[in-house]
Chains A and B, each alone.
Chain A
Amino acid sequence: MIDKIDKTRKSFDEDLSKIENLTSLEDLRIKFLGRKGLVSQLFESLKDISKEDKPKVGQALNQLKIHTQAKFDELKEKLEKGQKSSDEFVDLTLPGRKRVIGSKHILTQTLDEIKDIFRGLGFSVYEGPELESDYYNFEALNFAPDHPARDMQDTFFVTDKFLLRTHTSPVQIRLMKEKKPPLRAIMPGKVFRNEAISAKSYCLFHQVEGLYVDTDVTFAELKGTLVAFVKQFFGQDIKYRFRASFFPFTEPSAEMDIWWEPKGKQGRWMEILGCGMVDPNVLVNVGIDPEKYTGYAFGMGIERTAMRKYGIDDIRILFDNDKRFLTQF
Chain B
Amino acid sequence: MKISINWLNDYIDLKNISVDEIVDKLTYAGLEVEEVDDQSKKFENIVVGYVNEVKKHPNADKLSLCKVNDGENEYSVVCGAPNVSAGQKVAFAKVGAVIPNGGMKLEKVKIRGEVSFGMICSERELGLGDNHEGIMVLDPSLKEGLSFAEAMEMNDTVLEIAITPNRADALSHIGIARELSALFDLQLKYPDVNLKESGKKSEELASVEIKNSNNCPRYIGKVVSNVEIKESPNWLKKRLKSIGLRPINNVVDVTNFVLYEVGQPLHAFDLDNLGGKKIIVRDAGKNTKFTTLDSKERNLQSNDLMICDTNKPVAIAGVMGGENSEVTSTTKNLLIESAYFNPSSIRKTSKNLGLSTDASYRFERGTDPKITKWAAIRAAQLIQTTAGGIIAKGEIDAYPKRITKKKVFLRYSRIEKILGYKINNSTVKKILTKLGFEIKSATKEKLTAMLPTYRHDIEREIDLIEEVARIYGYNKIPEVSKISVTLEEKVDHSALNDKVREFLNSLGFYEIITNSLLSEDIASRFGSAINLLNPQSKEMSHLRTSLIPGLLTSISNNIKVNEKDLQFFELGKVFEKVSAANINDFKDFTESEHLLLALTGNRIRNEWLEKDSPFDVYDLKGFVESFLAKILPGVIINLKSMNELESKFDNSFRIICENQNIGLGGNLKKEFCTLFDVDQDVYMIQVDLSVLKKINIPKKIFNELLKFPKVYRDVAFVLDVDITSDQVIHIIKEATTNLLHNIKLFDIFQSESLGKGKKSLAFQLEFFNSNRTLTEEEVEKDFRNAIKTVEKIFNAQLRGS
Contact = CB atoms under 8 A, between A and B. Distances in A.
A237 interface: no
B245 interface: no
Interface of B: 27-30, 32, 164-167, 343-344, 347-348, 364-365, 417-421, 460, 462-463, 465-466, 469-470, 474-475, 477-483, 485-486, 488-495, 498, 501-502, 504-517, 530-536, 540, 543, 554, 557-558, 561, 563, 566-568, 572-573, 575, 582-584, 586, 589, 591, 607-610
A184 to B, nearest CB: 6
A34 to B, nearest CB: 43
A103 interface: yes
A186 B717 CA distance: 60
B568 A104 contact: no
A214 B104 CA distance: 63
Given A131-B575, A244-B30, A162 B583 contact: yes
A199 interface: no
A124 B419 contact: no
B474 A254 contact: yes
B501 A251 contact: no
Contacts of A75: none
A327 to B, nearest CB: 7
Contacts of B591: 129-131
A183 B584 CA distance: 31
A183 B488 contact: yes
B551 to A, nearest CB: 9
A224 B609 CA distance: 57
B491 A324 contact: no
B558 A159 contact: no
Which 7 A-B pairs rank lowest in CB-CB distance, beginning with the nearest?
A: A218-B420, A244-B30, A220-B420, A246-B164, A244-B470, A252-B466, A321-B512
Given A133-B586, A149-B166, A219-B420, A100 B567 contact: yes
A323 B165 contact: no
Nearest to B490: A124
Interface stretch (A39-47, A61-69, A187-195): A187-195
For A95, A294, A321, the residue with the greatest tally of chain B CB atoms inside 10 Å of its CB is: A321
A277 B589 CA distance: 34
Given A184-B488, A185-B491, A108 B511 contact: yes
Given A152-B165, A252-B462, 4 more contacts: A102-B511, A121-B483, A158-B532, A183-B488
13 contacts: A94-B608, A102-B505, A102-B507, A103-B505, A103-B510, A105-B511, A115-B494, A130-B573, A130-B575, A219-B469, A223-B480, A280-B460, A321-B558
Given A219-B469, A246-B165, A322 B504 contact: no
A119 to B, nearest CB: 8
A326 B512 contact: yes
Given A203-B517, A220-B419, A320-B557, A251 B466 contact: yes
Contacts of A18: none
A88 to B, nearest CB: 15
Contacts of B28: 241, 243-244
Contacts of A214: 486
A243 B30 contact: yes
A260 interface: no
A224 B417 contact: no
B486 A122 contact: yes
A126 interface: yes
A225 interface: yes
Contacts of A115: 494
A22 interface: no
A197 B465 CA distance: 39
Contacts of B511: 102-105, 108, 326
B546 to A, nearest CB: 15
B491 A221 contact: no
B563 A319 contact: no
Contacts of A26: none
A121 B771 CA distance: 50
A131 B543 contact: yes
A216 B413 CA distance: 13
